[in-house]
A and B are shown apart, each in its own frame.
Chain A
Amino acid sequence: MTCAVGWAVGIVALVWAVGTQADEPPATAPVAERPVAEFLTTHCLECHRGEEAESDFRIDHLNDDFADRRAAAAWIEIRDRVNRGEMPPDDKPQPTADQIRMLSGWITDRLRQAEQAGLSRGGRAVLRRLNRQEYTNTIRDLLKMEFLPGESPRDMLPPDGTVEGFRTVSVGLMIDPSLMQTYYEVARLVAEKAIVDGPPEFPTKTLRMEFEEIQTNRAIDYLCDKPGFECKEDHIEIIDGQTRSFGRLHYGDHRTATPTLGKYRVSVRAAARPGPDGKPVRMSVRQQHPQASRQLVMDVQVDASPQQPEVYTVIVPRDGLGKEWNLQPVDEIAMTNGNPTYQVYANRKIRDYGNEGDFTNAIRYRGRMQLEGGHEQTIIRPDRIDTEKLPMLWLDWIEIEGPLYEQWPPKSHQLLLGETTPTSLTNGQLTEIFTALMNRAYRRPVADDDVKPIVNLVRQELDHGIALENAVRAGLTAVLTSPRFLYLAEPSDGVQPRSLDDWEIASRLSYLLWSSMPDEQLFELAAAGKLQDPQVRLQQVDRMIADPKIEGFVNGFAAQWLRTETFRNFQPDDRQYPDYDDKLGEAMVSESLEFFREVLKHDLALSNFIDSGFAMLNERLAKHYGIEGVQGDQFRRVPLPDDSHRGGLLAHAGVLMAGSDGNRTKPVSRAVYVREVLFNDPPDPPPPNVGEIEPNIKGKNLTVRERLIQHQEIESCAACHRTLDPYGLALENFDVIGAWREQQTGEGFRARKAPPIDASGKLPDGSTFDGFEQFRERLLAQQQRFHRGLTEKMMVYALGRPLEPGDRIRVDAISDALDDDSATLRTMIKQIVSSPQFLTK
């Protein structure tokens, strides 16, 4: 025993070595570290010391420099062994759960510090390149170009690396030879499109088909004989079925109306007669396309009456692969056309709806069946159909106009070469053209010496007999391949931090809020030296938030912060969750982004992320949440009824689905989401080889909660899980696809026998809750923690580097400034852009 005491002194000294001088008196040692030394002395040292140490693992030779890989690995080994309960051995005195948590937490903290120190660039922003979204947006704004799906630089550049959860962090944005090659190729393609040679290859044309032509065309006039399909003198009426374009819409010699990738205006003159239930008629217009997801062109409610038809129009991108056009009324209850099996089908439907208590639909079906001459006991009599009462779609004509050009030559061309392309250009003219371009491309004024090499390159091409357009394209390619375009460069001697100049501030602001280059106004302010003025900067923040380009922040920061890309990682099991479809999945992703946008644009309190009195919904999602009265695909703000469980991020179906595996909920994953996304306080990682909680084995029907609680009873797991799981178990009332449930579902639990959900728990701060609603209240009480977490996240995104201990004071100051219920994203953004971190290189 005497020996052990001696060792204890040694270890305490060893643990102190960080941050203090080894010869300093022990009295100044950080208190928190003494227990670590005591733990090791009490539980490890007896066997793991000296030449004879057990398994050659020597605690007495342990080095606590976590930057040293070997030492870090040894500490990880200690943490994992102890966490798994493998050490100390069973026949030795066992540490308590609190002691294990203390040790494990200390090791994890130190590892994290070492990791962050490894990423550290001395608290300074580091040169970084544009990520692919920023690149794409910058090209859009620089050259006034618009890209259609499939031709945007974003579709050609590889995905970017992520560090600390964000794609703006310098160390994650590397350049390798193959990316460089891609940059060059993308630049050439952009130049190819930006500058045009002569008139468009496909001038805009308008094609029209009058639907009454069907009856005079012998190939298709049979349609007019179909029940539910009436051909009139100057229009057609569809009660059931669909009509097509029958090859009559084609652009010149092409077999399609849409010969090339471009935008097209699709117009249909239509009207409708609603059914007896007053339900409006919807019309869908589709173009056949090899990719099913690209078929739908228009899905619109037709309110115009046949007395006053209207023209319904959309402008959509189409590519050269689309073929025939289809138009039809959208109606889930199809006409039978006299098919007797309908009766069986309809009767089953009526029964199913009745059993589910959905009498509205049961009655609709019965009514429809009777209208079509059917009764429950007799066969259908098509001759008795009273078509006058059935919903009907009235169609006059369809028109396809395109490809549409906003102007020709396009803006990008005019920007460089003017409205009429000159036949030749002098060096003086070239200098003028490229100076204007490069000032904006490099986001600061360029010198003559910068422009000269580009002009020389263009001249050299011209001398080789290359056409003027192509020579200018080569110059443009060079500008877009330049490091001054690809990188956000801020010169520095690397020794003395310096304040950013106006141009640099303009770029930092625009890449933060727009994921793109500064606009004219920012450039003008920079030129006038006004961005040094804090008031001007704040005015700019307001202006920039109001600008449509703020989408760059929603799709950049918000999507990365909320991890919307992970929402649909697991496909829900379609037998257990038949309500799920892709449309719902898409709506889930949109919901969280729409919610962020709403909170941002309307200056709503940050607390809305924890609990809100409204939700952002479209029809599909509202149906999923059981909220009535929302129609159409557009998202809008919907006040939540008192009995709704929604409100706040954690009730977003996407967040909940991300924390499920398609089969069952994963409370631990959900808890990790709460800790990481809301609080930026990641839990200790699980020891290796722990896997997930076991699925139900035959005969044992335990809920996920029961299995997790079992897990917590294992002392070594308890340490972490008791402080983690409650955050996820609180969300157990939401099933795999985020629908509210009162009873256990998933994993084959059957409704009648399934145990009720228990979403109660106790948070690490000691506060208890009886379910989701109370849990949200408890989180609201910890708002400060949320503000801090969000501040840290946004700073990483804004600065493009991990935070360091030196940033702590500023994070404290900003979250203090947000310390009231009216704090908004706007206040937070303004605080960050006013911080020395943001304004210093």
Chain B
Amino acid sequence: MSRPLKLSRRTILRGAGVAMGLPMLECMADDQAAETPPSRFGMFYFGTGMNMRQFEPEDEGPDFKLSRILQPLERHRGQFTVLSNVFLNHGGGHDGAYPFATSIARGEKQQISPDQIVAQQHGKATRYPSLQLSVERGTAFGSQALATTSWNEQGIPLAAENDPKVLFDRLFRPDSEQQKVNRAHEFRQRGSVLDLVMEQAGGMQKRMSQVDRQQLDQYFNSVREMERQLDRDVAWSDRPKPDPDLKDPKRFEKSITDKQPDFRYDTYAKLMYDLIALAFQTDSSRVVSYVVRRELSGGVYPEFGVSKGYHSLSHHGNDPRNLEELAKVDTIYMKHWAYFLDRLRSIREGDGTLLDHTVLGFSSGMGIGHSKNRLPTVLSGGERLGVRHRGHVRLSTPTPLSSLWQTMVHCCGVPTGDAFQDSPGVIDDLV
């Protein structure tokens, strides 16, 4: 079903009047042609690799034969490209979630991740510059099982949210009248609190050593970001949240996290992918990162009917049962990926579909047997953004994962400059 995807310039001028704060003006200026659907960017992490023996296709080209794990994607042939010969320099082993998006090893100072680079440009136009989703809340920074792959400009990990209800409320739950009155007070109070704590932090900083100051800088940056968010909130406050027009809005009324005893992954996965599709569709955000499976921990649920945890299975020791169960689990994840592509393709946008205006990349921090090459890497969507899909491409030279990100950033119309992480450049085969 077709819905207005993005408020056109006219709609805003008609409806918003006073609400047009500064951020709106900026965003309109960014989009030269407001009628052209915007570019969307999605980065997905499947921790602990996959059973690459059943993932890598044997032949190449658009008519390649889908491997067992990729079989669920058959109906999307032509909408995605499987990339072989991709490596992650500091990947392999279980620290791979750290360099995944940035090419920076665990333990080193991080840098901005590609989703945030895109968000810097495209995020100004939306209620949420970017969304971080994950099976686990927070960042889990320090542990191998990182809960996020997004890093801000200061190299601080950005916390992810794992509960579809929380995300739904944030994106779509309309405010009641009382909430609107309260909100005005809340804006004022929040502004005062932020001013006040900023001043206190300033006072503290004067009497601090250099290293302590660096630590406190995180506080400053975070409060500044909250101030920017407040500005955005004020600017957006008079605009109603979009109505996602759901057939069954009840689905999002209950908190669901994998800590609950009655957790079903199938329900959860679909809710999370639906939310991304809805966020894109309603232009609530254009940038998403999602840790679908964490490194090392979790990844397998009772309904999968396998005998061990994902990490235990990945130490397959060539036991055919382990390899079989790994492939079984990976296939389940790919079924959900196919579901996600279904959702994006079902939404008309401009003269194509939402998927055509969305570049999605997924991979892992390792391949099989904790290797740092042979990563399960797939680029999906983005035909209207200049992506040319080729079925299965075995790149002629070993190519860092960062080249995939560079290609995706490039397709979103964001200049990547000469030096993008450790990438030698945009992958020519794909554009």
Confirm or deny: A689 has a beta carbon within 8 angstroms of a beta carbon on chain B. yes
Known: A118-B107, A184-B190, A691-B315. A161 touches B141 (CB 8 A): yes
**How far does the Cβ of B325 sit from chain A's closest Cβ, in whole Å?**
12
Cα A598 to Cα B346 with chains together (Å): 62
Kindly list chain A residues whose C-beta atoms are within 8 Å of the C-beta of B192. Answer: 457, 460-461, 474, 478
Contact check, A174 vs B218: say whether CB atoms are below 8 A apart.
yes
Cα A178 to Cα B152 with chains together (Å): 11
Kindly list chain A residues whose C-beta atoms are within 8 Å of the C-beta of B138. Answer: 158-159, 179
> Taking CB as reference atom, which chain A residue is nearest B105?
A69
- Complex partner residue of A695 from B137, B185, B317, CB under 8 angstroms: B317
Confirm or deny: A466 has a beta carbon within 8 angstroms of a beta carbon on chain B. yes
**How far does the Cβ of A701 sit from chain B's closest Cβ, in whole Å?**
14
* Count class of interface residues, chain A: 35 or more
Confirm or deny: B13 has a beta carbon within 8 angstroms of a beta carbon on chain A. no
Interface-lining segment among A310-318, A416-424, A481-489, A583-591: A481-489
Contact check, B307 vs A127: say whether CB atoms are below 8 A apart.
no
Contact check, B158 vs A176: say whether CB atoms are below 8 A apart.
yes
Known: A121-B211, A478-B197, A494-B210. A115 touches B107 (CB 8 A): yes
> Taking CB as reference atom, which chain A residue is nearest B192?
A457
- Complex partner residue of A126 from B108, B189, B212, CB under 8 angstroms: B212
Confirm or deny: A267 has a beta carbon within 8 angstroms of a beta carbon on chain B. no
Confirm or deny: A180 has a beta carbon within 8 angstroms of a beta carbon on chain B. yes
Cα A291 to Cα B143 with chains together (Å): 30
Confirm or deny: A507 has a beta carbon within 8 angstroms of a beta carbon on chain B. no
Contact check, A457 vs B315: say whether CB atoms are below 8 A apart.
no
- Complex partner residue of B261 from A293, A663, A694, A697, CB under 8 angstroms: A293
Within A171-187, the residues touching B (CB, 8 Å) are: 172, 174-182, 184
> Taking CB as reference atom, which chain A residue is nearest B366?
A688
Contact check, A177 vs B226: say whether CB atoms are below 8 A apart.
yes
- Complex partner residue of B219 from A118, A184, A483, CB under 8 angstroms: A483
Known: A176-B159, A453-B196. A494 touches B261 (CB 8 A): no
Confirm or deny: A662 has a beta carbon within 8 angstroms of a beta carbon on chain B. yes
Confirm or deny: A333 has a beta carbon within 8 angstroms of a beta carbon on chain B. no
Within B116-145, the residues touching A (CB, 8 Å) are: 132, 136-143
Known: A482-B200, A494-B208, A573-B307. A180 touches B322 (CB 8 A): no
Contact check, B193 vs A457: say whether CB atoms are below 8 A apart.
yes
Contact check, B218 vs A692: say whether CB atoms are below 8 A apart.
no
Contact check, A124 vs B226: say whether CB atoms are below 8 A apart.
no
- Complex partner residue of B317 from A175, A450, A693, CB under 8 angstroms: A693
Confirm or deny: A202 has a beta carbon within 8 angstroms of a beta carbon on chain B. no
- Complex partner residue of B208 from A491, A570, A661, A662, CB under 8 angstroms: A491
Confirm or deny: A361 has a beta carbon within 8 angstroms of a beta carbon on chain B. no
Confirm or deny: B71 has a beta carbon within 8 angstroms of a beta carbon on chain A. no
Known: A121-B211, A494-B209, A691-B370. A172 touches B193 (CB 8 A): no
Contact check, A184 vs B226: say whether CB atoms are below 8 A apart.
yes
Cα A69 to Cα B108 with chains together (Å): 10
Confirm or deny: B371 has a beta carbon within 8 angstroms of a beta carbon on chain A. yes
Contact check, B312 vs A662: say whether CB atoms are below 8 A apart.
yes
Cα A291 to Cα B260 with chains together (Å): 8
**How far does the Cβ of A620 sit from chain B's closest Cβ, in whole Å?**
20
How many interface residues does B have (CB within 8 Å)? 65
Confirm or deny: A3 has a beta carbon within 8 angstroms of a beta carbon on chain B. no
Pairs across A and B, CB under 8 Å, 21 listed: A69-B105, A115-B107, A158-B137, A160-B142, A177-B222, A179-B138, A184-B193, A453-B196, A466-B185, A470-B185, A477-B189, A478-B193, A481-B197, A482-B200, A494-B209, A661-B312, A662-B308, A662-B312, A663-B307, A691-B369, A693-B317
- Complex partner residue of A454 from B196, B210, B229, CB under 8 angstroms: B196
Q: Quick one: CB contact mask for A460-477 with B, threshold 8 Å, 1 for yes?
A: 110010100010001001
Contact check, A570 vs B309: say whether CB atoms are below 8 A apart.
yes
Within B355-413, the residues touching A (CB, 8 Å) are: 369-372
Confirm or deny: A427 has a beta carbon within 8 angstroms of a beta carbon on chain B. no
List the 6 shortest-distance A-B pairs measured between CB atoms, nearest first: A158-B138, A494-B209, A161-B142, A180-B222, A177-B225, A491-B207
**How far does the Cβ of A536 sit from chain B's closest Cβ, in whole Å?**
27
Contact check, A177 vs B315: say whether CB atoms are below 8 A apart.
no
> Taking CB as reference atom, which chain A residue is nearest B309?
A570
Kindly list chain A residues whose C-beta atoms are within 8 Å of the C-beta of B212. Answer: 126-127, 489-490, 492, 494
In the complex, given contacts A176-B222, A491-B207, A494-B209, what are 6 additional A-B residue pairs having Cβ atoms less than 8 angstroms apart? A161-B142, A172-B141, A174-B218, A178-B132, A688-B370, A693-B317
Kindly list chain A residues whose C-beta atoms are within 8 Å of the C-beta of B215. Answer: 126-128, 170, 487
Confirm or deny: A629 has a beta carbon within 8 angstroms of a beta carbon on chain B. no
Contact check, B139 vs A158: say whether CB atoms are below 8 A apart.
yes
Q: Quick one: CB contact mask for A548-581 with B, threshold 8 Å, 1 for yes?
A: 0000000000000000000001110100000000
Contact check, A477 vs B221: say whether CB atoms are below 8 A apart.
no
Confirm or deny: A162 has a beta carbon within 8 angstroms of a beta carbon on chain B. yes
Cα A177 to Cα B132 with chains together (Å): 12
Q: Quick one: CB contact mask for B211-245 with A, threshold 8 Å, 1 for yes?
A: 11001101101110110010000000000000000
Confirm or deny: A163 has a beta carbon within 8 angstroms of a beta carbon on chain B. yes
Confirm or deny: A91 has a beta carbon within 8 angstroms of a beta carbon on chain B. no
Kindly list chain B residues whose C-beta atoms are within 8 Å of the C-beta of A693. Answer: 317
- Complex partner residue of B209 from A124, A178, A450, A569, CB under 8 angstroms: A124
Kindly list chain B residues whose C-beta atoms are within 8 Å of the C-beta of A481. Answer: 193, 197
Within B46-91, the residues touching A (CB, 8 Å) are: none
Within B168-190, the residues touching A (CB, 8 Å) are: 185, 188-190
Confirm or deny: B37 has a beta carbon within 8 angstroms of a beta carbon on chain A. no
Contact check, B317 vs A691: say whether CB atoms are below 8 A apart.
yes
Contact check, B142 vs A163: say whether CB atoms are below 8 A apart.
yes
> Taking CB as reference atom, which chain A residue is nearest B132?
A178
Kindly list chain A residues whose C-beta atoms are within 8 Å of the C-beta of B142. Answer: 160-163, 172
Cα A482 to Cα B297 with chains together (Å): 35
**How far does the Cβ of A717 sit from chain B's closest Cβ, in whole Å?**
15
Confirm or deny: B24 has a beta carbon within 8 angstroms of a beta carbon on chain A. no
Cα A293 to Cα B197 with chains together (Å): 41
Contact check, B308 vs A482: say whether CB atoms are below 8 A apart.
no
Confirm or deny: A493 has a beta carbon within 8 angstroms of a beta carbon on chain B. yes
Cα A127 to Cα B157 with chains together (Å): 19
Cα A293 to Cα B260 with chains together (Å): 10
Known: A159-B137, A483-B201, A694-B319. A570 touches B312 (CB 8 A): yes
Confirm or deny: A122 has a beta carbon within 8 angstroms of a beta carbon on chain B. yes
Most buried by B among A178, A450, A482, A483: A178
Contact check, A127 vs B216: say whether CB atoms are below 8 A apart.
yes
Contact check, A464 vs B188: say whether CB atoms are below 8 A apart.
yes
Contact check, A489 vs B139: say whether CB atoms are below 8 A apart.
no
Kindly list chain A residues whose C-beta atoms are within 8 Å of the C-beta of B105. Answer: 69
**How far does the Cβ of A161 sit from chain B's closest Cβ, in whole Å?**
3
- Complex partner residue of A484 from B190, B200, B225, B316, CB under 8 angstroms: B200
Cα A822 to Cα B307 with chains together (Å): 47
**How far does the Cβ of B228 sit from chain A's closest Cβ, in whole Å?**
9
**How far does the Cβ of B122 sit from chain A's closest Cβ, in whole Å?**
18
> Taking CB as reference atom, which chain B residue is nearest A158?
B138
Confirm or deny: A292 has a beta carbon within 8 angstroms of a beta carbon on chain B. yes
Q: Quick one: CB contact mask for B297-336 with A, threshold 8 Å, 1 for yes?
A: 1000000000111001001111100100000000000000
Confirm or deny: B156 has a beta carbon within 8 angstroms of a beta carbon on chain A. yes
Known: A126-B215, A174-B218, A291-B261. A483 touches B197 (CB 8 A): yes
Cα A661 to Cα B158 with chains together (Å): 32
Cα A582 to Cα B139 with chains together (Å): 28
- Complex partner residue of B156 from A176, A461, A662, CB under 8 angstroms: A176
Q: Quick one: CB contact mask for A189-219 with B, threshold 8 Å, 1 for yes?
A: 0000000000000000000000000000000
- Complex partner residue of B141 from A115, A126, A174, CB under 8 angstroms: A174
Cα A45 to Cα B170 with chains together (Å): 62
**How far does the Cβ of A696 sit from chain B's closest Cβ, in whole Å?**
9
Confirm or deny: B199 has a beta carbon within 8 angstroms of a beta carbon on chain A. yes
Cα A798 to Cα B409 with chains together (Å): 44
Kindly list chain B residues whose C-beta atoms are within 8 Å of the C-beta of A489. Answer: 204, 208, 212
Kindly list chain A residues whose C-beta atoms are within 8 Å of the C-beta of B226. Answer: 177, 180-181, 184
Kindly list chain B residues whose C-beta atoms are within 8 Å of the C-beta of A179. Answer: 138-139, 159, 222
**How far does the Cβ of B42 sit from chain A's closest Cβ, in whole Å?**
19
